[in-house]
A and B are shown apart, each in its own frame.
Chain A
Amino acid sequence: MFLINCPYCGERDQSEFSSGGEAHIERPKQPTELSDDEWADFLFMRKNIKGIQFERWNHSHGCRKWFNLIRDTSNDKIHGIYKMGEKPPKV
């Protein structure tokens, strides 16, 4: 059970949050220009790596804000948290 430092509310229990999968997958600005494969890549393909992973999290039972979180999936260490639109810190 993680302790997550919400950038808006501070440290809270994991049960207040929900995970939104891989971060930094931008919705294409011109979807109609994309081939089926390119669109499918955006729509379905997500990384599942062992190690440092960039994720989206939502403080769903708190301020309802989305933010980004850097997590090492091998030991669940959180290496950084930053707001949407911000550049990820160096890990």
Chain B
Amino acid sequence: MSKFRINKTNFVDQTNRISFKFDGKTFFGFKGDTLASALIANGIHLVGRSFKYHRPRGIMTCGSEEPNAICQINDKSNLTEPNVRATEIELYEGLEANSQNCWPSVQFDIGGINNLISPFIPAGFYYKTFMWPKSFWKTVYEPLIRKTAGLGKSPIKPDPEIYDHKHVHCDVLVIGGGISGIISAKLSAKNNLNTILIDDKKELGGSTIFQDNEIFKINNKISKDWLLNEIHEIKKLKNLQIKTRTSVAAYHDYNYLLASESLNDHLPKNEKDRSVRQRLWKIRAKKVIIATGAIERPLVFNNNDRPGILLANSINKYLNYFGVTCGLKNVIFTNNDSGYETAISLHKKGLDVKIIDLRKRSGSELIKETEKLGIKIHWNSTITNTFGYRKINSIEIMSLSEDGSNVIGEKNKIFCDCLGISGGWTPMVHMHTQSGGKLNFRETDQVFIPKEFSDNRISVGSSNGHFELDEIVKSTNQTVKKFLHIQDTDLDDTNISCSKELEKRNIWLLPNYISIGKNKSFIDFQNDSTAKDIKLAMREGFKSIEHVKRYTTTGMATDQGKLSNMHALGIIAETAAVKMGSLGTTTFRPPFTPLTFGTIVGRSVGKFFDITRKTPMHEWHVKNNAEFENVGQWKRAWYYSRDNENMHQSVQRESKAARDSAGILDASTLGKIDIKGSDATEFLNRVYTNAWSKLSIGKCRYGLMLNEDGMVYDDGVTTRIGENHYLMTTTTGGAANVLSKLEDYLQTEWPELDVWLTSVTDHYATASICGPNSKKILKKLFSDIEFNDQNFPHMSFKNAKIDGIDCRIMRISFTGEHSYEINIEAKYGNSLWEKCMEAGKDFNITPYGTETMHLLRAEKGFIIVGQDTDGTMTPIDLQMDWIVSKKKYDFIGKRSLYRSDTMREDRKQLVGLLTDEPNTVLEEGAQIVYDENKKPIEMIGHVTSSYFSPNLNKSIALAVVKNGRKLKGQKLLVPMRDQTINVTVSDFIFYDKNNERLNA
């Protein structure tokens, strides 16, 4: 056993030895150790370098508030994780940890030079220095700062671990498994309330579990033993679910809380076995009891950051819980009684310990006991300096003046290898404030405590500002009784004995004979901000705590100021001579401790990230070498590559084939809404710009839908299936939104209409066959239908059967060719497709994808909503005046078409563009200008669609251009990075202007 492992405890299994690596060197610890306790047992305190000055730093705490001991775990693997607190890592066989923020090593760090030049890099240094010259920012300053900034290294490969989410409901959620949490959970569960108790440590018990002192007794048992028995008892309760290694990260409205449970981080690799690493609990609790305890405060004095300086109560935990001592010659520096518990523990283990107390004197039981044991106490004293570069080796103390504002008398040097500091306790009010609770400031011990409770949320124990054992037990019992409406409890007659603190003396920034500018009194250890930085910020005019915080970066490190925020506030108050309570606090924001991205994402990774929608013909497209395009959640065939064609070659071939003979497109993804009801026609009249009253049964009509602001929202063909029955099609991407918009109007504006909407997008598969030979193919498929223009004209529909299966054939066209769309029940989609391919074999039927579809429709000047429109285009802008009914009294968006802005003549309007050089294809999105020389250059529009048309053998484009309607024939410029392209405004219908091919 090492000389620091001096004690056997129930919590560390000293028969189970574990080897681990720190900074490449192998060490040993035991099962039950944390990385921090194992390092301390090996005499190691120096574990990292500070962020700014690269000062040597050691383990300072034993919990989630740790600012210094943050490590890179499993470096060089894709499981690596930066900024993990050594105080929270449970030791397992094979653990590899490395210090961060140092090079070449933590022992010798080049960056340490920053400490020597520290007078030149005060708070706000970056803002002041890197402002000039401006051109240096991008080339010199930013790359340099980026190189030195940041803590740790992020993994560069995908995270192979599994993460999980779980939703739970409970009557009562208790946050925190210390003594008050355990009492609360027991009361709740024993009263038949479904209860969850959550704690971030691996075992319940908080800090009472290592309170091993005869002075603190409950029912004549030492507090720790009483609590161990309670833990044993509550584990038997049926209504209670205990979740350890689980940290509540966020407390949202309506008692909705997020907690992250660590499931296998403490296991060695071979035991993990592809199990879930972390689970995010989404908890809806009827009532919440916050029992998150308190965090011990450091004291702010010169060189208070050396390795070997720890919070006093943490030393007690390492000693009584882990069985290791942080030093052999100890000094406790305190302003309150709790440091004395640590001193007594150390003394009882035979270790050397002295006490330095800010207070002038006190006579509490703890102090009487300390004096009885012969422990030396330096009253009314402060530390003015500490020594030892890689670990503390001595301190210098002086007496305090009467008012505590100065040091007086002689300097005394005390040798030590460990210094415990205690500046009192800060209640963890994070959960309370996150839930919307307000705070009160208590002057006596300068703490913020919850101001009010609600019907469904309370704080108990030290998170509610109760620090004495008897107070904690009794007030928790009383508060919970009232909160949960419980009559009598076992705790009503509890007999508690404990020491009561009698004197208090708090000085936020301890006085020194060395001026503030020359000493290093750290407030935020992780971000290296000092008392001097706070004072500088105030001198420079920052008054609000929120501003001082950001200017000095105090409280902005990964520990979110758990140890530093109160001191920053206190020093501001002391300096400005204002009441600390009047300053308010900075905002406590979730998460309480950092969450991994994996936990947040859970199972929604890879193919589960989003839903993938595939058409019934998808497998056919895959087999036929289709490349796919994402359209919303749909996978649509983009083009079919044949004989190693590239995309351009495929699209040119497909486009030509569709116009020369026959093409086939999978149009199943188009949104389909089934509309029924006696007012269906009236409904269509109100939602589309054109008139629907005269559409006879069996006919189809193209419709344009606007938003109430007059802008084009969606388009598609609607077919009248029966007297009161229509089938509406929408764009692929707009389907869901159109349905909810229509539902909105039906439910809220026009509830009197008898109309029923059903989404049938997934119910039907659609094959669209176009081209001059399409009619012949349809004839082969449907021999009993007469495919002539009298019986089956353009824009009409027929019910039909194929192999006895019902289908609907619409003669409609998005390509400008004679074409048909066959709709069939989705499950027959693939058979239908194969039959079409078979029937079209003699006509070189060519499957084409969305790219060819886009090209063909652009040749015809048909818009695509969302490509040629962007939510600022009216039908008039699109030169689609013909579809806007003048006769209808009203439709959605009509009034907006007569607003002064929508009637402006110089709005951007849809035009065609032809490049002067016919082989040059414009880039979609390219800006269009009149004149390149007049600066600033006026952008008058942009290209919305652009293709090389194989049927016209030239480049064509659609664009929106200011006042475009009047610009036909106008020469314009499209400036690109390497050239300026000359274009001429043209009609936007490039092909078959008279629609002759539709009826060919």
Chain A interface (Cβ < 8 Å from any Cβ of B) = 1-3, 13, 20, 26-28, 30-32, 34, 36, 39-40, 43, 56, 58, 60, 64-66, 75-76, 84-85
- Chain A residue nearest to B751 in the complex (CB): A85
**Chain A hits for B740, CB < 8 A:** 58, 60, 64
* Interchain CB contact under 8 A, A84 and B748: yes
Q: A31-B895, A43-B708 are in contact. Are A56 and B253 (CB under 8 A)?
A: no
Give CA–CA (A43, B897) in the complex, Å.
Answer: 13
**Chain A hits for B708, CB < 8 A:** 27, 43
Give CA–CA (A30, B889) in the complex, Å.
Answer: 9
* Interchain CB contact under 8 A, B899 and A39: yes
**Chain A hits for B751, CB < 8 A:** 84-85
* Interchain CB contact under 8 A, A39 and B744: no
In B353-412, which residues have CB < 8 Å from any A CB?
Answer: none
- Taking the nearest CB of chain A, how far is it from the CB of B708, in angstroms? 6
* Interchain CB contact under 8 A, A40 and B899: yes
Tell whether B749 is near chain A: CB-to-CB under 8 Å: yes
Give CA–CA (A75, B256) in the complex, Å.
Answer: 15
**Chain A hits for B889, CB < 8 A:** 32
Give B731-769 as 1s and 0s: 1 = Cβ < 8 Å from A's Cβ atoms: 000000000100110011101000000000000000000
**Chain A hits for B744, CB < 8 A:** 20, 58, 66
- Taking the nearest CB of chain A, how far is it from the CB of B735, in angstroms? 14
Chain B CB within 10 Å, residue with most, of A20, A34, A40: A40
Tell whether B890 is near chain A: CB-to-CB under 8 Å: yes
In B82-111, which residues have CB < 8 Å from any A CB?
Answer: none
Give CA–CA (A65, B890) in the complex, Å.
Answer: 25
Q: A1-B253, A3-B254, A3-B284 are in contact. Are A66 and B895 (CB under 8 A)?
A: no
Q: A31-B890, A64-B743, A84-B747 are in contact. Are A43 and B253 (CB under 8 A)?
A: no
Q: A60-B740, A65-B747, A66-B748 are in contact. Are A43 and B254 (CB under 8 A)?
A: no
- 9 tightest Cβ-Cβ pairs between the two chains A and B: A31-B895, A1-B256, A3-B254, A66-B747, A1-B252, A27-B749, A76-B253, A39-B895, A66-B748
Tell whether B629 is near chain A: CB-to-CB under 8 Å: no
Give CA–CA (A58, B737) in the complex, Å.
Answer: 13
* Interchain CB contact under 8 A, B890 and A43: no
- Taking the nearest CB of chain A, how far is it from the CB of B886, in angstroms? 12
Q: A20-B744, A31-B890, A66-B747 are in contact. Are A2 and B254 (CB under 8 A)?
A: yes
Q: A1-B256, A43-B708, A64-B740 are in contact. Are A36 and B900 (CB under 8 A)?
A: yes
* Interchain CB contact under 8 A, A43 and B896: yes
- Chain A residue nearest to B743 in the complex (CB): A64
Q: A2-B254, A58-B744, A66-B747 are in contact. List 13 more A-B contacts (CB 8 A).
A: A1-B252, A1-B256, A3-B256, A3-B284, A36-B900, A56-B748, A60-B740, A64-B743, A66-B743, A66-B748, A75-B436, A76-B253, A85-B751
- Chain A residue nearest to B891 in the complex (CB): A31
27 CB contacts below 8 A, A to B, read A1-B256, A2-B254, A3-B256, A3-B284, A28-B895, A30-B890, A31-B890, A31-B894, A31-B895, A32-B889, A32-B890, A32-B894, A34-B895, A36-B899, A39-B896, A39-B899, A43-B708, A43-B896, A56-B748, A60-B740, A65-B747, A66-B744, A75-B436, A76-B253, A84-B747, A84-B748, A85-B751
- Taking the nearest CB of chain B, how far is it from the CB of A1, in angstroms? 4
- Taking the nearest CB of chain B, how far is it from the CB of A69, in angstroms? 13
Tell whether B709 is near chain A: CB-to-CB under 8 Å: yes
Chain B CB within 10 Å, residue with most, of A1, A3, A84: A1
* Interchain CB contact under 8 A, B254 and A1: yes
* Interchain CB contact under 8 A, B895 and A2: no
Chain A CB within 10 Å, residue with most, of B740, B744, B895, B898: B895
**Chain A hits for B898, CB < 8 A:** 32
- Taking the nearest CB of chain A, how far is it from the CB of B904, in angstroms? 13
The size class of the interface chain B forms with chain A is 20 to 34
- Taking the nearest CB of chain B, how far is it from the CB of A64, in angstroms? 6
**Chain A hits for B254, CB < 8 A:** 1-3, 76
**Chain A hits for B899, CB < 8 A:** 36, 39-40
- Taking the nearest CB of chain B, how far is it from the CB of A21, in angstroms? 11
**Chain B hits for A31, CB < 8 A:** 890, 894-895
Give CA–CA (A39, B896) in the complex, Å.
Answer: 8
Give CA–CA (A56, B743) in the complex, Å.
Answer: 14
Give CA–CA (A76, B708) in the complex, Å.
Answer: 30
- Taking the nearest CB of chain A, how far is it from the CB of B866, in angstroms? 21
**Chain B hits for A76, CB < 8 A:** 253-254
**Chain A hits for B709, CB < 8 A:** 43
Q: A75-B436, A76-B253 are in contact. Are A32 and B895 (CB under 8 A)?
A: yes
**Chain B hits for A60, CB < 8 A:** 740
Give CA–CA (A66, B747) in the complex, Å.
Answer: 7
- Taking the nearest CB of chain B, how far is it from the CB of A76, in angstroms? 5
- Chain A residue nearest to B255 in the complex (CB): A3
In B893-949, which residues have CB < 8 Å from any A CB?
Answer: 894-896, 898-900
**Chain B hits for A30, CB < 8 A:** 890
- Chain A residue nearest to B892 in the complex (CB): A27
- Taking the nearest CB of chain B, how far is it from the CB of A67, in angstroms? 9
Give CA–CA (A28, B744) in the complex, Å.
Answer: 16
**Chain A hits for B896, CB < 8 A:** 39, 43
Give B869-900 as 1s and 0s: 1 = Cβ < 8 Å from A's Cβ atoms: 00000000000000000000110001110111
- Taking the nearest CB of chain B, how far is it from the CB of A9, in angstroms? 15
- Taking the nearest CB of chain A, how far is it from the CB of B97, in angstroms? 36
Give CA–CA (A34, B877) in the complex, Å.
Answer: 23
Give CA–CA (A76, B256) in the complex, Å.
Answer: 13
Give CA–CA (A34, B896) in the complex, Å.
Answer: 11
**Chain B hits for A13, CB < 8 A:** 256, 284
- Taking the nearest CB of chain B, how far is it from the CB of A43, in angstroms? 6
Give CA–CA (A85, B740) in the complex, Å.
Answer: 19
- Chain B residue nearest to A83 in the complex (CB): B747
Give CA–CA (A66, B899) in the complex, Å.
Answer: 30
- Taking the nearest CB of chain A, how far is it from the CB of B655, in angstroms? 40
- Chain A residue nearest to B749 in the complex (CB): A27
- Taking the nearest CB of chain B, how far is it from the CB of A75, in angstroms? 6
**Chain B hits for A28, CB < 8 A:** 895
**Chain B hits for A75, CB < 8 A:** 436
**Chain B hits for A84, CB < 8 A:** 747-748, 751
Give B248-289 as 1s and 0s: 1 = Cβ < 8 Å from A's Cβ atoms: 000011101000000000000000000000000000100000
**Chain B hits for A26, CB < 8 A:** 749
- Chain A residue nearest to B739 in the complex (CB): A64
**Chain A hits for B284, CB < 8 A:** 3, 13
Give CA–CA (A58, B900) in the complex, Å.
Answer: 33
Give CA–CA (A1, B258) in the complex, Å.
Answer: 11
**Chain B hits for A85, CB < 8 A:** 751
- Taking the nearest CB of chain A, how far is it from the CB of B168, in angstroms? 12
**Chain A hits for B252, CB < 8 A:** 1
Give CA–CA (A2, B743) in the complex, Å.
Answer: 24
**Chain A hits for B900, CB < 8 A:** 36
- Taking the nearest CB of chain A, how far is it from the CB of B675, in angstroms? 16
**Chain B hits for A2, CB < 8 A:** 253-254
Give B688-709 as 1s and 0s: 1 = Cβ < 8 Å from A's Cβ atoms: 0000000000000000000011
Give CA–CA (A43, B284) in the complex, Å.
Answer: 38
Give CA–CA (A22, B186) in the complex, Å.
Answer: 46
- Taking the nearest CB of chain B, how far is it from the CB of A44, in angstroms? 8
In B428-485, which residues have CB < 8 Å from any A CB?
Answer: 436
Give CA–CA (A49, B254) in the complex, Å.
Answer: 21
- Chain B residue nearest to A32 in the complex (CB): B895
Chain A CB within 10 Å, residue with most, of B744, B748, B894, B898: B748
Give CA–CA (A39, B875) in the complex, Å.
Answer: 19
**Chain B hits for A58, CB < 8 A:** 740, 744
**Chain A hits for B895, CB < 8 A:** 28, 31-32, 34, 39
- Taking the nearest CB of chain B, how far is it from the CB of A10, in angstroms? 14
**Chain B hits for A39, CB < 8 A:** 895-896, 899
- Chain A residue nearest to B258 in the complex (CB): A1
Give CA–CA (A62, B813) in the complex, Å.
Answer: 36
- Chain A residue nearest to B256 in the complex (CB): A1
Give CA–CA (A39, B898) in the complex, Å.
Answer: 10
